[in-house]
Structure 1
Amino acid sequence: MLNNPPGPTLLGFDVILIATVLAGMASAAVVMALYAAITIKDPMAKRVKALNARRAELKSGIMVTAKKRASLVRKNETADKMKEFLGSLKMLQESQLKTVTQKLAQAGIRKKELAVAVIFARLVMPIVLGLIAGIVIYVIEYFPDWGTMKRFAGFAVAVGAGYKGPDIFIQNMISKRTDKVRKGLPDALDLLVICAEAGLTVDAAFERVAKELGRAYPELGDEFSLTSIELSFLTERKQAFENLAYRVDLESVRGVVTTMVQTERYGTPLASALRVLSAEFRNERMMKAEEKAARLPAIMTVPLILFILPVLFVVILGPAACSIADAFSDGPGG
């Protein structure tokens, strides 16, 4: 019986297999893009529902209604089991739990029990991915051409990805959310200035800005709405502003919070302080845009050399090279 010849390989990887996997991923991405384009949802609907629940929670002074308490208890039981397991292994610290909770809040996830799940995933995922990689690489020997160092490197990458995967995923969510909040903050401060000059209170101004900017900047509208609710129901208004700085990992937001706290404490004019902050943030955004524009020539150098200049040389020198080749071929010895 004849053995089928092996397919083409690149750096020890089967090119046909990699192409098949990439084609499948591209097809799945196209299907997801079409589904997302067809099923367009209101970005504020889910946030408004969550904010209304938060308003009811602060107003009533209890966590949830009695009807939802059973499901919450079941979730807490799962989180408690994971917490007990991590505590038995001496792998759960209170400072670590607070850090993960803050990162989840900055990513827009306000379920505190998920912090235990993230820490639990750091423990479980390296073991799971390490076992899968060990079986694939060493037991099944799916990559028989790999040497000892390449096999160990693949196993180490799988374990490292399992440990750092949750942190990288959460940090990516934080970065995207922070960028969206940063883009809408100068416009929000301008609207806050207008609301303050119109005579609205601080909590009413935050609520109005959240309604006006909710569709353009849903994340910023979500944070401002929650701050407005906490300003209305919390006993200390300073805590509401500090919660805003806690949930948003942005230096400019901390500057706004400091200004609001000082305004509440000393009675300084709110509109003038916010106007100065808005001008500073706009200048900062313009400086970042100018910095990116200044880096553009250096960034374009590599694509220019690799992709544009060779084509240009072919277009310019190609006809001359063809003429020279024809002249030599038609010479006396031709």
Structure 2
Amino acid sequence: MINQPTGPTLLGFDVVLVGTLLAGLAAFAVMLAIYAAVTIRDPMAKRVKALEARREQLKAGIVTSASKKRTSLVRRTDTTDRVKDSLGRLNVLQESQIKVIQQKMAHAGYRNKELAVLIIGARAILPVVVGIILGLLIYWIDFWPDWGPIKRLAVFGGAVFLSYKGPEIYLKNKASKRTKEIQKGLPDALDLLVICAEAGLTVDAAFNRVAKELGRAYPELGDEFALTAIELSFLNERKMAFNNFAYRVNLEAVKGVVTTMIQTERYGTPLASALRVLSAEFRNERMMRAEEKAARLPAIMTVPLIVFILPTLFVVILGPAACSISDNLIK
């Protein structure tokens, strides 16, 4: 019987077969990337459509002050109502606590304020559930018999603490990322507002135009500008729309813009000149932050330089000399 010749192998695997599979995966990834680039969608389209529908409803007078209509406006659900009733019976739900969580959710980009009750309920329930499960696994079933008492206590306490702080940490991280994205696009948005104001557009039309122009580059900022433009069009007090903008974004620069807009609305001062000054200040702040990061770079690179680069450099430079010295000593 003649043995068929086999291809080269590496660690028991056929190199040709593995290479073929990797080439196929690479081709599939390239096709997927091309498809994603060609069929890119506007991230603002769905949100703007929903906001436009809400504005049309409010203009038409569909949303009234009746209790049933008001319930649909705040988007309350049976789940949130049950959680709220349960937490109220346990006396762990406070109005001030709800307001704090609602503002954190607004900073993270969540519009439904009723979800704050679920966040508070998760903070109350998760530590108990995680504590019971870990208590059974660690102390009752003894799933990890090699662990000592200190390690068991540390794992148990750390897991319970993380389960309690987990929802809040998640909101904080998402709000921080969203705030940074808004901060990046704010100077460009102010420049566009200046152009719109000098072109003779009203404030709500200028906000709407900026939202359309910046929707692709900065979706978060475009979303906030679109929502502010819609609130400016139907709220009785325009000051309330600007204050809502500052409430939803945890950024001092946005508060400065809101203060400027309110003052121009009240005293009739030129909007374009005030926004131009603010835009220049924000650009200077962005340049200062970039220079600060560049100044911190040498100190940050010290540890990787010592740990990874210098040993390799020593081996490359001193290695041949050490080999020659060892050869001479052996001779």
Task: Tell me the equivalent position of 1:114.
Answer: 115
Residue matched to 1:58 = 58
Query: Is the aligned partner of 1:49 residue 2:37?
Result: no
Paired with 2:319 and 2:212, the residues of 1 have a C-alpha distance of 62
2:169 maps to 168
In 2, distance between residues paired with 1:62 and 1:139?
Answer: 59
Q: What does residue 16 of structure 2 align with?
A: none
CA shift, 1:99, in A, is 1.0
1:143 aligns with 2:144: yes
**Residue-by-residue CA offset, 1:82-101 (whole Å, 9 max, x unaligned):** 11111111111111111111
CA gap 1:113/1:60 in 2 versus in 1, 3 angstroms: farther
Matches of 1:225 and 1:163 in 2, distance apart?
35
Deviation at 1:43, TM superposition (A): 1.3
Whether the aligned pair in 2 keeps the contact of 1:101 and 1:112 (CA below 8 Å) is yes
Percent identity at matched positions?
Answer: 70
Q: How many residues align?
A: 294
SS of alignment partner, residue 164 of structure 1: helix
Mean Cα deviation higher: 184-193 or 139-148: 139-148
| Separation of aligned partners in 2, 1:35 and 1:227 | 40
Q: Please report how far the alpha carbon of residue 50 of structure 1 lies from its aligned counterpart in structure 2 after TM superposition.
A: 2.8
Residue 324 of structure 1: how far off its partner (Å): 0.8
Q: Does the Cα contact within 8 Å between 1:190 and 1:278 map onto a contact in 2?
A: yes
Q: Distance in 2 between matches of 1:328 and 1:168?
A: 62
Residue identity in the other structure for 2:126:
M
What's the TM-score once normalised by structure 2's chain length?
0.84
| In structure 1, distance between residues paired with 2:263 and 2:184 | 25
Q: Is contact 1:58–1:233 with CA below 8 Å preserved after alignment?
A: yes
Give the letter aligned to residue 218 of structure 1: P
| One-letter amino acid of the structure 2 residue matched with residue 105 of structure 1 | A
**AA in 2 matched with 1:158:** A
Shift of 1:49: 2.9
Question: Do the aligned partners of residues 280 and 36 (structure 1) sit closer, same or farther apart at CA in structure 2, a change above 3 Å counting?
Answer: farther
- In structure 2, the partner of 1:279 is 280
1:65-85 CA-partner distances (Å, limit 9, x unpaired): xxx98x959952221111111
Name the structure 2 match of 1:220. 221
The match for 1:105 is 106
Counterpart contact for 1:58–1:234, Cα < 8 Å: no
Whether the 8 Å CA contact 2:134–2:156 is kept in 1: the answer is yes
* TM-fit CA distance, 1:160: 0.5
Return the letter of the residue paired with 2:117. V
Aligned residues: CA RMSD: 2.3
> Which letter maps to 1:79?
T
Q: CA deviation at 1:133?
A: 1.4
Q: CA deviation at 1:140?
A: 2.6
**What is the deviation of 1:34?**
9.9
Q: Is the 8 A contact 2:228 2:242 kept in 1?
A: yes
The one-letter code of the counterpart of 2:47 is: R
Is 1:235–2:232 an aligned residue pair? no
Aligned residue in 1 for 2:159: 158
1:20-31 paired onto structure 2 within 5 Å: none
